[in-house]
Structure 1
Amino acid sequence: MGRVRQGEGAAGALLRREARAARAHLAVPLVLGIGQVAAGIGQAWLIALLIARLLGIGEAGWNELAAAGALALLSAAIGIAQEKALIAAGEAAKTRLRNAVFARLLATGAGDQRPVGERAALVVDRIEALEGFLTRWLPAAMLAIAGPLLVAAAAFAVDATSGAILLVAGLLVPVAMAVTGIGAAQASRKQFAALDRLSGRFLDRMRGLPTLVLFRRQEAEATSLRVAADELRGRTMRVLRVAFLSSASLEALAAAAIACLAVRHGAVLGLTHPDPAGAIFTLLLVPAFFAPLRAFSQAYHERLAARGAAAELAPLLEDDGAAPGYRLEEVPKKLVVTFQDVTLRYDPARPPALDGLSFRVLPGETLVLAGPSGAGKSSVLRLLMGFRRPDAGRIAFNGQDATLLAPAELRRLTAYVGQRAHLFRGTLRENIALARPEATAAEVEAAAEAARVMDFARGLTKGLDTLVGEGGFGLSGGQAQRVAVARAFLRDAPLVLLDEPTAHLDPGTEAEVLESIRRLCAGRTAIIASHSRLAQRTLGRVLEIEGGRAVGARMAGE
């Protein structure tokens, strides 16, 4: 219960913070909304005069009819301008939020244990829900106070009792919404949780579709997805029921207000009414009075959805990115890496990934970690990049405890090449420059030359300025891997980490990539996790790992 309250408090704090940030953008829509209410009051008065004229009372004519039409057009124009202003405010808010969330996800990196689908939902669905809160709920909540007060004041000017009737009806709106909205926030949070499960499961299963088909699990997974989709459908319908009940209660209050005004002016004052046009005016004010409240009611579910979304986003955004740990004044040129009895356990119910592992790598030395899958090779790289902290033992850089450094500082010390290089849609030059965006064109070209990217780039029509597709579309696996090695060259870090860099290459391409890797590792501290026999024979000292322990060592070529 305490954890739930803490989560709700964090969600509320996030919504208040975002409301303050969006306040400046909402000033214009709020002023336009008040202007639209004022236009509605003026239009109601003119129409009341025209109706009274049709009943043989008063002297309204074509001028009043033309003015009423002009006010109708003005109200429509104000509505359009208000909508455009809200869209602009929403885009600004979404940009700000997405930048913050994406920066936090990048800072967390592989340390974030959530599935890819859930992380994608955070950046897309959660922020879309917050946009509704900022651009629909907040303006509606402000106008739900200012608009009815303005309309009630106009009614008071004609008949104090009519103004009081409208005020009482307005005060009952929050009560009705609170009664119909009990449990709605919880239903909204459950809906988002169901959406998370469905999004994450669907994306993960799509990525693993060939494996599912291979093991004939496609029907079982389709059934699981259907169950998750049915759960989401049910929870969505519960949230919609709340929205419909809220709208129904508001319509009932509007009908009651019209009935009370009709009784007041028809049955009580009757034929001796001192101001028939004023009576018609107060009746016509009811739609103008309830229009802001109706918008408020329609936006109520936006607040509920935003609170559920904020509960998911708050833990991520509350972290300001200032991870504990020391900062480096400068990156050392040489690095000695020492593991001393390091233990790492991902799950208490399973054996440790690393169990008392010890080794040392000197500057200019390359250590190849060999062993079966699951032996702990990739866990060593995770620890060195700061994505995990050891449960026991000591990791030292140049004799100093590396775990005292902030994770971001650990990553400043390293250049990493994984199994499959991910290239983004852009030129080869832009993809290489990701490693160090401030690098000069000459430095990028030097890195491409060192990694032998220029061997194939020279044959392209635009060289390094040739456009490649998302995921490296247009390049072979070996060419994409050379681009990844070029990134490592450009980064020029003292520690080079490679995880199965040639796992998916044919023997000829593997030899070419290993030659680039050998040049990359020269003069640097390098640790390579690899099953490749060629890498183990040619790159450096080999450390055999099994069950998270070092079981043997040998020199390259042995």
Structure 2
Amino acid sequence: MKPPAASAPVPDPAAAASGRFQSLAAAGKLAKSGLRRLLAAQIARTALRLGFAATAAMSAGPLVMREPVDPWLVAATIALLSAACIAGFAAERAQASAETAVSTGLRELAARRLDEMPARQLQSLSVGSLIVSMQRHPEAVAALVVGHRAASAMMAAGPLLAATALFLVSWQAALLVICLTPVMILFFALVGDAIRRRADAQERAFGRLAGQFADRIRTLPTILANHATETEAAKLTRRLEAYAGNTMGVLRIAFVNAGIIDFFASLSIAILAVFLGLGHLKLAMIPGFSDLALWQSLFILMIAPEYFAPFRRFSEQYHAKAEGLAAAAALDRLLGAEPVVAKTLPALDRLRLTLPAKGLVAVVGPSGSGKSTLLRRLTGLEPGGCAPGLADQIAWVSIDSYVPEGTLAEAVAWNAGAVDRRRLEEVAGAIGLLDDALLPGGLEARLDKGGANLSGGQRLRIAVARAQLSGRAVLADEPTAKLDRETAEAVRRMLLTISRSRLVVAATHDRDLADAADLTVDLTPGDAIEVAA
């Protein structure tokens, strides 16, 4: 059995780091076809709504004046309204489909990037940040490259179509609404930096919250055993309050932004209505607003909201832009980080070991001296010739050993070949798995995906039991760490039992385990590494 990180070929670190992960560029490529369909549907919807406004005004004007209405105008009005609704439905569907395609594609690219990462770099990633990046960030980036970009394009195309329609009736009315456009664009520029900073702070706060939550879930048995539930709950509450505060800050700015757009839109429509009313009542002679037919005035009042609708939609998407940029930056930081470079250990690089066919080899030394590095070199996960690589002929034992979803029996027997029930019970009982109060049900105890409901000690004991059944050489990284005295003794006994017929190499701080070894490799810093039989 291989260690978890060795389930796929390990790429060269330099090759893995040769290109930075650029989520925005990748998402932009994924969004191209969907964005074109979305823009086509939105432009069609806008044109149809303008056509509906024209025919509705031409139908309503004569009705108010008690004049006959051409039947074709009524039919055209109904047809254009129906077509505009269909185009609107098609636009919403196109946006949802395009954003789904982008988020799915981005996740696939991110997963491929994770597969290419060196084991050391992958293990250095924060679990919480990784969960957030794979679940939350692709949707935010998709909303940016699809929804926000479509809103940006329509902020140019929509007002242009509306202003053209207004110009055909009254160029003065068209000029009036156009004059308010620079004011809104200036406000967008002023509010943009503030909302971007808030959104970035929001994403960072959410990442910290997710990281802490994932860590506490993983260590929940230890927290319960030490009666630290209230303390940890208080810590999570503080992180949650910080995230909620940052979220409310973003929403406040977004609401103010939308309010300003509505104010200018309402102001312009009110001015148009006053000017048109004064002209029809013959109370003022305003060029472009007097001497208009009633249907023309109605048309202007119906078109004006269409002119400002794209600006309102853009203001709604401004929040999506800020969130998308923050999410893209977070995703790039996580997946584009430089590989974690192994510490230079000259003495370990010069080490040459001749491993016996069986027996216990203890690798000892202070933290950071290279014990785990030596084990990774023996598996071939890291370059460095210190001993013949064991490759696929090993069973890996550590606190982060892989645990499949299913029963305890399936986890212990995973990758160990055909094992009868009696043998499973014997090995699991010897390591204390059947007496664990936190694993009720014996061999039928249910394990969550990835062993999420297990403590580190339970996961490690499953790995030791699996190693006993595998018939392979064993590499164990701190096999007795974080275990109580009775459980640690059970693990030592099983490793010694295995060593009578196979090779067991254990990196350990456990003096009792080291004293029982047939061969000791002392990596304590010095001029040379001591190898003692």
Q: What is the TM-score with the length of structure 1 in the denominator?
A: 0.69
1:68 aligns with 2:56: no
Look up the match of 2:347: 341
2-structure distance, mates of 1:232, 1:297: 23
1-structure distance, mates of 2:132, 2:490: 42
1:360 aligns with 2:352: yes
Whether the 8 Å CA contact 1:368–1:530 is kept in 2: the answer is no
Shift of 1:294: 1.5
SS at match of 2:362: strand
Look up the match of 1:18: 27
1:206 to 214, 217, 222: 217
Aligned 1:290-309 pairs, distance under 5 A: 290-309=308-327
Aligned 1:266-277 pairs, distance under 5 A: 266-268=277-279, 271=282, 273-277=291-295
Look up the match of 1:190: 201
- The count of aligned residue pairs is 478
1-structure distance, mates of 2:52, 2:364: 82
Look up the match of 1:314: 332
The change in CA–CA distance for 1:385 and 1:71 in structure 2 (over 3 A counts) is farther
Deviations 1:90-126 (A, max 9, x none): 2221122222333434415443544321222222222
Whether the 8 Å CA contact 2:104–2:138 is kept in 1: the answer is no
**Structure 2 counterpart of 1:470, one-letter code:** K
Deviations 1:174-222 (A, max 9, x none): 2222233342111111111111222212222233334344445433333
1:251 aligns with 2:262: yes
Look up the match of 1:407: none
1:287 to 299, 305, 312: 305
Shift of 1:75: 2.5
Look up the match of 2:56: 47
2-structure distance, mates of 1:84, 1:382: 53
Shift of 1:511: 6.8
The change in CA–CA distance for 1:415 and 1:296 in structure 2 (over 3 A counts) is farther
1:470 aligns with 2:452: no
1:165 aligns with 2:176: yes
Shift of 1:282: 1.4
Question: Could you say what the CA RMSD is over the residues aligned between the two structures, in angstroms?
Answer: 4.8
Whether the 8 Å CA contact 1:417–1:488 is kept in 2: the answer is no
The change in CA–CA distance for 1:371 and 1:324 in structure 2 (over 3 A counts) is closer
SS at match of 1:360: coil
1-structure distance, mates of 2:528, 2:230: 43
Look up the match of 2:105: 96
SS at match of 1:59: coil
2:402 to 405, 422, 430: 422
The change in CA–CA distance for 1:508 and 1:416 in structure 2 (over 3 A counts) is closer
Runs of at least 5 residues in structure 1 that lack an aligned partner in the other structure: 1-9, 326-337, 343-356, 390-394, 403-409, 435-443, 458-466, 490-494
Shift of 1:233: 1.6
SS at match of 1:27: helix
2-structure distance, mates of 1:516, 1:72: 79
The change in CA–CA distance for 1:258 and 1:549 in structure 2 (over 3 A counts) is farther
Which is bigger in relative contact order (C-alpha 8 A, separation at least 6)? 2
1-structure distance, mates of 2:354, 2:375: 19
Look up the match of 1:448: 417
Runs of at least 5 residues in structure 2 that lack an aligned partner in the other structure: 1-19, 283-289, 426-445
2-structure distance, mates of 1:258, 1:172: 16
Deviations 1:249-285 (A, max 9, x none): 1111211221332244333575562432122111101
SS at match of 1:60: coil
SS at match of 1:361: coil
2-structure distance, mates of 1:385, 1:15: 40
Whether the 8 Å CA contact 1:181–1:242 is kept in 2: the answer is no
Shift of 1:228: 1.9
Look up the match of 1:123: 134
Shift of 1:296: 1.1
**Structure 2 counterpart of 1:92, one-letter code:** A
1-structure distance, mates of 2:224, 2:107: 36
Deviations 1:140-162 (A, max 9, x none): 11122112211221222222222
Whether the 8 Å CA contact 2:371–2:523 is kept in 1: the answer is no
Look up the match of 1:56: 65
Shift of 1:227: 2.1
2-structure distance, mates of 1:298, 1:487: 59
Aligned 1:385-534 pairs, distance under 5 A: 396-397=384-385, 416-419=396-399, 421-425=401-405, 448=417, 470-471=449-450, 497-500=475-478, 527-530=505-508
- Mean alpha-carbon deviation: is it higher for 28-37 or for 538-547? 538-547
Identity in percent? 26
Shift of 1:501: 5.5
**Structure 2 counterpart of 1:362, one-letter code:** T
Shift of 1:301: 0.8
Look up the match of 1:77: 86
The change in CA–CA distance for 1:320 and 1:519 in structure 2 (over 3 A counts) is farther
Deviations 1:451-474 (A, max 9, x none): 9999659xxxxxxxxx98624699
Whether the 8 Å CA contact 1:247–1:298 is kept in 2: the answer is yes
- Mean alpha-carbon deviation: is it higher for 500-509 or for 18-27? 500-509
1-structure distance, mates of 2:71, 2:447: 68
2-structure distance, mates of 1:222, 1:549: 48
The change in CA–CA distance for 1:537 and 1:146 in structure 2 (over 3 A counts) is same
1-structure distance, mates of 2:51, 2:499: 78
The change in CA–CA distance for 1:548 and 1:260 in structure 2 (over 3 A counts) is farther
- Mean alpha-carbon deviation: is it higher for 81-90 or for 370-379? 370-379
1-structure distance, mates of 2:391, 2:184: 55
2-structure distance, mates of 1:48, 1:179: 38
1-structure distance, mates of 2:411, 2:309: 53
The change in CA–CA distance for 1:424 and 1:64 in structure 2 (over 3 A counts) is farther
Shift of 1:488: 10
Deviations 1:212-243 (A, max 9, x none): 44445433333322222222222111111110
2-structure distance, mates of 1:455, 1:24: 58
Deviations 1:311-364 (A, max 9, x none): 22223444698x999xxxxxxxxxxxx97424xxxxxxxxxxxxxx97422366
Shift of 1:412: 9.8
2-structure distance, mates of 1:85, 1:173: 28
Whether the 8 Å CA contact 2:202–2:247 is kept in 1: the answer is yes
Deviations 1:13-43 (A, max 9, x none): 7535532431122111111111111121111
Whether the 8 Å CA contact 1:453–1:482 is kept in 2: the answer is no
